[in-house]
Structure 1
Amino acid sequence: MSFDFHNQASEYHFAFVNAENSWNGLNLRLAKWICAIDVIKQYPWIGVGTGDIKDELVKAYIERGFIYGAEKRFDPHNQFFETAVGIGFAGLIVLCFFYFNALYEAIKSKHWLFTAFLLLIIFCSLTESVLSSSQGIIFICFFVFIFTRLIEVAEQ
């Protein structure tokens, strides 16, 4: 998959007639991720702050000539990159601990529904900023709480 940051074409998801000249889900995400990595390299330890993620990404988009991304003010479309941009590697470590500690506990207790749920959330986090909206936070925290409580009850 290739792309040109200077491409001014719009997104086109549903057919491959103009695939070479249009942004699609894959090349658009790759461009966003490259720019997110640029920002992470500038602020690796403490990030830019959660309120400045899009502003810093827009600067990175402009530096790369990704005008379409700057105009649309895209987020990184990856929860791991979003966390690293916003609160640095320390925040990324906490996020990974949250995900993978819960996954470890689910596997250890042989709670396969919880395991499947966590794997789904982790994989969704690779292509979407699932915790950047209150709906995502509430959904994930609600089910992690419910499943964790079910594990505690089953162990008693």
Structure 2
Amino acid sequence: MYECQAIAVIFVGIGIVIALPMAEKQRIYKALIMNDYPGAPYADWIKNGEKTIETRFRTFKYRGDIVICCGKTNSVGKNAGKALCIVELWKIRPMRKGDEEAAGVKFNPELNCFLLKNWRHFSRDFEFSPQRISGAWQSLFDISIPSDVEIVSKPNIKAFPEKEQ
């Protein structure tokens, strides 16, 4: 059995041909940064399914897969500066009193709840370098999953029990 690599062939002048390996298809996802604070490791709680609702003051239109990243500067512990998992952001709505446990924060009517489902972990957590967007880190940015990192389904982690509409 032979292993084939895709190559790009470049013709450079008379009779000179250069063959270069082509880059693998990049796996680019939207990502969101949160921090692991002492006593409130939010990114770790999401990775492990203990926090199934993320809360933010800002909102956006995007729905779909997002990579959960743990901030490097303000976080404590082993997750700081790493991408931890993929979840599906399927709904954003105002916070309700009954969301406190799943969100890991006290009720605040000014907060928006980002409802998460469909957990996937990585074969290894990896460091990331976000591209800063204007303003605070409340929004999404693009992240590329390294080619040696596998994505592993976690069907045992259950989403917040809310009906999809």
TM-score by length of 1: 0.26
Q: Which protein has the larger Cα radius of gyration, Structure 1 or Structure 2?
A: 2
Instruction: Determine which structure has the larger strand proportion and give its number.
Output: 2
Instruction: Determine which structure has the larger helix proportion and give its number.
Output: 1
